[in-house]
Amino acid sequence: MNFIWVWRAKTLKRYMIIGIAAFFTAGILFVESPFLPVFSPDDGDGPVAIHRVEAERPELALTFDISWGEQQLDPILEILEEKKVEQATFFVSAAWAERHPDLLQNIVDAGFEIGSHGYRHEHYTSWEEDQIKKDIQQAHNILSELTEKSPQYLRPPNGSFDKRVLEVADSLNYDVIHWSIHSHDWENPGVDAIVENTTTNISNGDILLFHASDSAKQTPEALPLALDKLEKDGYSFVSISQLMTGVEMDAEEID
């Protein structure tokens, strides 16, 4: 029996949602495993990862991960502007940001939220706690300096986390953000597949994951089609901060 935390949209701010889920991944860059184990503290206490929000309004959090490359970002930003999407969250590797401060500034200038994707794009679950802490702090310092605003949300590299990662992130005042809808665009499965992955079985409060790294070559073609379909279905797009604003916890026991 697992305990999954569900939150309903009402009055509090910045807290957690449905239980814990992590893709434990292998390889480098965006090589990810399809296995999705579920983690939740037995007593329901302690920090959790935000997977989605049980929201009343038809809102979806649009998120992008980026850790390398310089070709795909600007086309994605152009699409978001063309589609009049004003809110989204980009989880940025600080090492990438150091190499491409101009591209980071393009994200900021477009008005999008910046989240931390750590510094080194490696699996935190294979590191000692002091290494995890150092990487998160290094990324925090760099992103804060470059954007003149401190990030408050963390998506661990490769989406890989465990209880230790959650506790370290919490000690540094970060909320860990996972996702409920994965485009799998890093696999380049075809435009139709990406659109299908991101427009079916959608619910209010889902967190959508795309990539803005150069490995995701089909995202610029698939993204506008997915956005059009979701808008036609009545959804609007928000940042993680907006999705998290006004939520109330309701703990449910799930078999």
Domain around 18: 2-254
Between 95 and 20, where is the model more confident? 95
Average pLDDT over residues 195-219: 97
Structure-token match 């086309």, residue found = 75
Work out the angle between the directed axes of helices 73-82 and 219-232 (0-180°, nearest 10): 20
* Residue 120 to residue 135: CA distance in whole angstroms: 7
Provide the domain count of the chain: 1
Between 33 and 102, where is the model more confident? 102
Assess whether pLDDT exceeds 70 at residue 147.
yes
The residue count of the chain comes to: 255
- Residue 46, pLDDT score: 81
* Residue 176 to residue 170: CA distance in whole angstroms: 8
User: What single string gives the DSSP state of each residue in 156-206?
Assistant: -GGG---HHHHHHHHHTT-EEE--SEE--GGG---HHHHHHHHHSS--TT-
Between 185 and 9, where is the model more confident? 185
Give me the chain's average pLDDT, please: 83
Average pLDDT over residues 129-134: 96
245-254 vs 2-13, strand pairing mode: antiparallel
* 1 class by beta-carbon count within 10 Å (0-12 exposed, 13-18 middle, 19+ buried): exposed
Q: What are the structure tokens assigned to 92, written together?
A: 């940025």
Between 49 and 23, where is the model more confident? 49
* Residue 137 to residue 70: CA distance in whole angstroms: 24
3-state helix, strand, coil in the chain (%, to 5): 35, 25, 40
- Residue 245, pLDDT score: 86
Q: Which residue type occupies 69?
A: G
Angle (nearest 5°) at CA 62 between 123 and 72: 70
Assess whether pLDDT exceeds 50 at residue 234.
yes
CATH of the domain at 136: 3.20.20.370
Give me the percent of the chain exceeding a pLDDT of 90: 73
Global pTM reads 0.82
Assess whether pLDDT exceeds 60 at residue 6.
no
Helix (H, G, I), strand (E, B) or coil at 43: coil
